Amino acid sequence: MSVLVVVECDNGEVKKSSLEVASYGSQVAQLLGTTATAVAVGEASEASLASLGEQGISKVLYDAEPRLKDFVNSAYTKLIAAAAEKEGAQLLVLANSNIGAAVGSRLSVRLKASLATNVVELPKINGGSFTVKRGAFSGKAFADVVLTGDRKIIAVKKNSIEALHNAGQTAQVESFSAGLSDADFTDAPKQVIMQDQAGGVLLPEADRVVSGGRGMKGPENWNLIEDLAKALGAATACSKPVSDVDWRPHHEHVGQTGITVSPNLYIACGISGAIQHLAGVNSSKVIVVINKDPEAPFFKAADYGIVGDVFEVLPKLTQAVKELS
């Protein structure tokens, strides 16, 4: 039973969530007494793929077809299915990302596999049974799910698994062709529009997030959020009411119908903590809440809190971060 991991690349680098996926895959391969091969999608460089050895990957398959640089659902699905056939993979591991979900769900039908998404831990393998723990009920519960099929696909939630770093290990990069033709690119994007990443940190991939709510009083005050985010190397986010009134773009909205994030540190500024907002952030490792209302429900979900005026507290925090040596 060999393991195939799907690594997503961007601008020549392997995405952080895919380093976690690769580490997950190689650790499961070890449990099963086999090796982990990767197949790379997106814009990769040979050096970054070779360095997947640090995450325990022995071989990386890469199709240099230029149209694979952007996400194309049909083509990615075919490419990964072909790699799975070539390697005789019984287990596929991918990121629980928009790409991973789009491709993984199609692959599960094509490869007749059991699929578990939003997985947060390494599997429990007991004789023939294979069980994974996954998040459910919008972060309010976990489910242990048995994958009953012979083939299995696991989509790993971001920031649930620590990436391995075995310095000096390299993976062998092998060019691979899935024989893709024009017919596989009919759903290729007409246009790809990337966000302006002012702070340089992408929200879905961020380790730290500084988020603002209506308590920020207006978009003109967001410099306070941005200054702290910049000092911390964090991404910025917002609550739904803030994106609804266009103070901030929709792609920054975290919550039940926005983005779900699970960073190591989530700092909420002037957000009361409605249950819909918590659904998007409650799997963050450490939650800090700054709100002038001591009764704000968010304090119940927080690890650290400051009852105070965000306009006074935020500059102090930014200053304190700058003073850290």
Partner 1 sequence: MKFLVCISNVPDTTTKITFTPDNKEFNKAGVQFVINPWDEYALTRAIELKEQQGSGTVTVLNVGEADTEPNIRKALAIGADDAIRVNAKPTDAYFVAQQIAAVAKEGGYEVILMGKESIDYNGFQVHGMVGELLGIPTVAPAMKLDMSGSTATLEREIEGGKEIVEVSAPFVASCQQPMCEPRIPNMRGIMTARTKPLKVVEPMGEGARTEVAEYALPPKKQGVKLIPAESAGDLIRLLRNEAKVI
Q: What are phi and psi of 32, to 5 degrees?
A: -90, 0
Report 188-217 residues binding partner 1 (CB under 8 A).
188-195, 197, 202, 204-205, 208
Report, in Å, the least distance between residue 169 CB and partner 1. 27
Does 187 sit near partner 1 (CB under 8 A)? yes
Number of residues that bind partner 1 (CB under 8 A): 94
In sign, the C-alpha dihedral spanning 258, 260, 263, 265 is: positive
Nearer to partner 1, 86 or 251 (CB): 251
Tell me which of 47, 146, 198, 245 binds partner 1, using CB under 8 A.
Answer: 146
Told to check if 165 binds partner 1 by CB under 8 A, we report: no
Binding to partner 1 (CB under 8 A) within 233-272 occurs at 250-251, 256-258, 264-265
Kindly state whether residue 106 participates in binding partner 1, applying the rule CB under 8 A.
yes
87 lies in the site for partner 1, by CB under 8 A:
no
Stretch that binds partner 1, among 58-66, 105-113, 163-171, 211-219 (CB under 8 A): 105-113
Single out the residue of 66, 88, 141, 220 in contact with partner 1 (rule: CB under 8 A): 141
Q: Is 74 in the site for partner 1 (CB under 8 A)?
A: yes
| Count of CB atoms situated within 10 Å of the CB of 48 | 18
Q: Which stretch binds partner 1 (CB under 8 A): 21-29, 66-74, 162-170, 219-227?
A: 66-74
Q: Any contact of residue 324 with partner 1 (CB under 8 A)?
A: yes
Whichever of 33 and 194 has its CB closer to partner 1, that residue is 194
Shortest Å distance, C-beta 174 to partner 1: 26
Of 59, 56, 47, nearest to 14 (Cα)? Answer: 47
- 165 vs 300, which CB is nearer to partner 1? 300
CA dihedral 215, 220, 224, 227 (to 10 degrees): 150
Residues 6+ positions from 319 with CB-CB distance below 8 Å: none
How far apart are the C-alpha atoms of 146 and 179, rounded to whole Å? 35
Residues in 17-56 that interact with partner 1 by CB under 8 A: none
Cα distance between residue 137 and residue 116, in whole Å:
15
CB of 288 to partner 1, least distance (A): 7
C-alpha span between 92 and 269 (Å, rounded): 39
Which residues is 211 bridged to in the sheet? Answer: 237, 268
What gap in Å lies between CA 37 and CA 21, rounded to an integer?
A: 12
**274 backbone φψ class: left, alpha, beta (φ>0; ψ -120 to 50):** beta
Binding region for partner 1 (CB under 8 A) out of 60-68, 85-93, 182-190, 212-220: 182-190
**Which pair of tokens denotes residue 118?**
């939003």
Minimum CB distance to partner 1 smaller for 82 or for 173: 82
Q: Which helix (H) or strand (E) holds 268?
A: strand 265-269
Nearer to partner 1, 173 or 318 (CB): 318
The nearer residue to partner 1, 140 or 175, going by C-beta atoms, is 140
What are the beta bridge partners of residue 209? 235, 266
One symbol per residue from 292 to 311: x for binding partner 1 (CB under 8 A), - otherwise; what is it? -------xxxxxxxxxxx--
Sign of the alpha-carbon dihedral angle for 65, 202, 23, 135: negative
Alpha-carbon distance of 52 to 56, in angstroms, equals 7
